[in-house]
Amino acid sequence: MNNLSNEPLRLSKRMSELGLCSRREADEWISRGWVRVDGRVISELGTKILASQKITIERQAAAEQSKRVTVLINKPVGYVSGQAENGYEPAICLVKSENRWEEDKLPLQFHPTQLRSLVAAGRLDIDSTGLLVLTQDGRIAKHLIGQNSPVEKEYLVRVQYNRGDSKGERLPDADLKRLNHGLSLDGKQLLPAKVRWQNEDQLNFILKEGKKRQIRRMCEAVGLTVLGLKRVRIGRIKLGNLPEGKWRYLSEIEMF
C-alpha cells in the first residue's frame, strides 16, 4: 500500500512501495546515480523523501532490470529452497545448462552470471517437490512473497488418515471444513484456504500464505499424515510437464 502521509520515508522504501524495484535494487541504483527525485539526482543512501515527490529512474536502470532472469524449477526431494543447511544443497545448484528443460524454447543462453542474486521467491520444504521460483527481479519476489501478497499457491497432497483407531478411514467432513477455515498456527488464525479431495487419497490445497511447513501442520491438526506434497501452481504459472530436477526460464509474456 502506498504511503500517503506527510512523514518523510526512505527513498528505497518508497521505490519498493511503488513497485519500481526491490529495496536492495533501489540502494544499488541510488549509489550509481540512476535515481532522480523531482528531477534532481539522488546518490546518498538513506535519503528520505515525501510520498508526494516524483521519482524517475535513468534508462541504465531499466535496461539492467530487463536483463534480470526468473527461473522455474521442479524441485526434487532433498534440496532446500534457499541457503544450504544441514549438509543439504540449495535448489540453485540444479540451475546449470545440462539441467535446462529441453522443451524450453526461449532464445536465452544460460550464463553463470545469471546465478548472481538469484534467490528463491518463497519456500518449499526439503521433503516436498514441485514448482519453485528463483528470480533476480525484486519486483517479482515482492509480488510473490511480500506482505499481503494476493498470489495463490496450489498443492497436491497425498495423505493418510491416522487418528486413534481410525487408521485408513476417510477424514470427517467437519475436519475438511476446518482445513478450509478454522485452524490456527503459532497462536494466529490461518487465512481461509480452498481444500478439497483430488482423489481418494489426495487433497488439493490452495493457499494465499506460506507459514513454515503450513500444510503438514494443518494436516497433522486433523489427524492426517502427509505422504507426499507437490506444488503445482503459483498464481497463473503452472508446473505443467516440467520434469523433476529440470528448470526453464519465465518468458516475458508470462505473468504470475
The whole-angstrom separation of Cα 112 and Cα 190 is 40
Q: Which of 27, 125, 137, 175 is catalytic?
A: 125
Helix (H) or strand (E) run with residue 61 in it:
helix 59-66
Told to judge if 125 belongs to the known catalytic residues of this protein, a careful annotator would answer: yes
Helix (H, G, I), strand (E, B) or coil at 134: strand
Q: Which amino acid, one-letter code, is at 64? A: E
Helix (H) or strand (E) run with residue 138 in it:
helix 138-145
| Close Cβ partners of 131 (under 8 Å, ≥ 6 residues apart) | 72, 73, 74, 75, 124, 231, 232, 233, 234, 237, 238, 239, 242
Q: Which amino acid, one-letter code, is at 124? A: L
The total number of residues shown for the chain amounts to 256
- What are the grid coordinates assigned to 75, written together? 524441485
Residues identified as active-site: 125
